[in-house]
Structure formats: C-alpha cells, structure tokens
Amino acid sequence: MGVASRNFRCELATEFVLPNKYDRKSLRLPPIEYPSIKKEDWKLFVDKVLSEQFQEKSKKAKDKRAKNVYNHRLGSTGYGGMLYRKASKKESGVSEREIDRSEAWLMARADQDDKYASDVTPIVEKINELKSQVAQGTFQSQGSHDILGEALQKQPNGSKVQGVGQFVTPSMYFHVPDATELARERKMYQESFQFMSTQLERMNARLNAYNNIEVGSSNFPKPKTSTGVQIDNDQQSPETLGKRKADFPSGKSTPKFVKPRKSRV
C-alpha cells in the first residue's frame, strides 16, 4: 500500500505539478482525471512539491540515480518478490537450493529472454569465470570477498548489500554462521555425546553387577559356635583360621593342669 501510494504521488508530481510549476493558476484545482482528490489536499501537495526543500531533495536523488549502473528489472517488490515468483514457478531450482547473491544479481538484470544489457554482459562473464574457479578450488568465496564482490570490484557499504535488497545490512548477511561448519560441529558433538552415553551405560552395568554379588553373599546364614555366638564370614575365612591356629604353641598336646597336693603337718 505504501509503495502504491508513493508511486501515485510521483506520477502526480511528474505529470501534473512539475510541468506547470511556473503556471500556478493551472494548479489551483486537482486534475480532472482524479476527482476523488480534495482541493485542500491538492493544494498541500502542490506546495510541498514546489518547495525548495523538496526540490533540493529531488535533485540529490536524481544525481544519485545518474551514478547508478547495471540497472535492474526488479520492480517494486525487490529481490524478495523476484525470488518468490521464481520459487513459485520452480524456475532455475530456486526452491531446491540456496541462491548465491551473484545469481540473484544476474536474475534481477535479465530480461524475459534471459538476455542482459551491454553494460551487464562483462559482469556476467566475470561471474561465470569466478564460479568455475570456485569449482576448481582456485578462488575461495568467503564473506564480502565473494563472487559478486570480486566481479563488481565493489564492497558492500554500511547499509546495503548488492544482490540481496534493502533492509539487509552487511553484518546481517555476512556474519551468519556457515551452515556446513555448523553441521560439522553438530556431528562432532553428537558423536562425543554418543561415546559418553556408551561409557556411562557400561559403568552402570558394572556397578549393578557388583551390587548384586555383594547382596548375594550377605544372604547366606552365619554359622554359630557351640556357645551360640554367630561368627562373621571373615572370622571363618581360611586366612583368619590360619592366623588363629598360628597363635597356639606348637606341640603334640596341650599341657594338663596338675592339682597341688596338700602337705602333712
């Protein structure tokens, strides 16, 4: 809606106001082609278009436009609208892969027969040559030093990126992480996580097996002595029994206790 309104105002200014800027009487009423325009609104519009401030702004825009080369054929929808239309028609595989900005730049300057103006043709040849070098590995497209930047011999300024469109700054376009690098890092972290998970499962299995053995050994009843005292497992182990046997003096039999005799008075 905003674009249509801007185009309409531009049409009124170029076709009705500016050609009659020295004949203000003819600009008192709105054009008969547009009866819906109110007289008050028309007067405000004429005063604005013929003001010095507006004329100075218009001159700067014309000078800037004169310096523009390699004119595009995008229309009011810009690069986004062009790529959307081509994706809807499934032209050039737009919907199946990522489009480099050099390709979008060429699409915007091709006519209906996919032909280019004479000033664009050298850039087309340079872009095709750089694509071939990328495939051969002799040219590395990285950041702003990519195919289009090398072909145009022009780096993006602070607010605009060629081949992308308005509202996309260089930091927004070139500082996005590379999808291939992100996929490689993701695969590496997934493999590390899988390895750690396997190790954790093995440790849990060993711990469970050890706990089952310990619980099973504690379920056996402890033997009792002749006095009814229970003996712990370690007390009846061969090592413990061996130590206790070694505590007694060696000999064939244990010496008997001799009762002393009473003396006679």
Residue 179 has pLDDT above 50, yes or no: yes
Statement: residue 188 has pLDDT above 80: yes
pLDDT at 92 over 70: no
Cα–Cα dist 18/20, whole Å:
5
Please name the residue ranges forming H helices in 137-255: 147-152, 170-174, 179-218, 238-247
pLDDT higher than threshold 80 for residue 265: no
The string of pLDDT tens digits covering residues 104-119 is: 999 999 988 889 999 9
Q: What is the mean pLDDT of residues 237-245?
A: 52
The top-scoring range by mean pLDDT among 28-42, 96-110, 251-265 is 28-42
In 6-97, the DSSP E strands lie at none
Segment 129-177, tens digit of pLDDT: 999 999 999 998 888 788 998 998 887 766 778 888 777 777 777 776 6
**CB of 110 closer than 8 Å to CB of 41:** no
pLDDT of residue 44 exceeding 90, the answer is yes
Amino acid at 215: V
Q: Residue ranges of the domains in the chain? A: 2-66, 78-167, 177-216
The string of pLDDT tens digits covering residues 70-83 is 888 887 788 888 88
The model's confidence at residue 91, banded by pLDDT at 50, 70 and 90, is low
How many CA atoms are closer than 13 Å to the CA of 217, on its beta-carbon side?
8
Q: What is the pLDDT of residue 1?
A: 38
